[in-house]
Structure 1
Amino acid sequence: MLNLIGGLKLFDVIRVMTGGGPGYSTDSMSTLISKFYFDNQNAGYASAIGVVLFLIIAIFTLALNTYFNRRRLEYV
């Protein structure tokens, strides 16, 4: 679960190696937030991407917790 969250938040390696280019082909959601907020000065769109990133992480976390809790109850 932590690796999934870390992969979704990956920022520094992408920013240093490719800068998110060419185009948006190697961008993660974190680099998109950075581009829209700092480069395009579009804070509203950047915050909307941040909310979507939070929702994706929350859904995956809840699904994995539910799965592992059910699996643990089967073996008890």
Structure 2
Amino acid sequence: MRQYQLKETKEVKKIICNKCGKEIPVVNGRTEEGVFCVDYTWGYFSEKDGERHTFDLCEDCYDEMIRDFRIPVETKG
């Protein structure tokens, strides 16, 4: 007799940069390029209290965003 377990899995099929609309290649659920992913829930002292914001940026859009920082991004490694 065979017994089966039903498995439900979620696999990334496609990622699109929220800023420029570029499609970031995904093969077997893994990205083929760098992608900056944000998943942030705003806190009590914000105008967005309790809102959850999620977005993805391609590497070019990420570089463009941090270029304007007054204090540079800290990098290690």
Which of the two has greater strand per residue? 2
State the TM-score, normalizing by the size of structure 2.
0.25
State the TM-score, normalizing by the size of structure 1.
0.25
Which of the two has greater helix per residue? 1
Greater Rg over alpha carbons, structure: 2
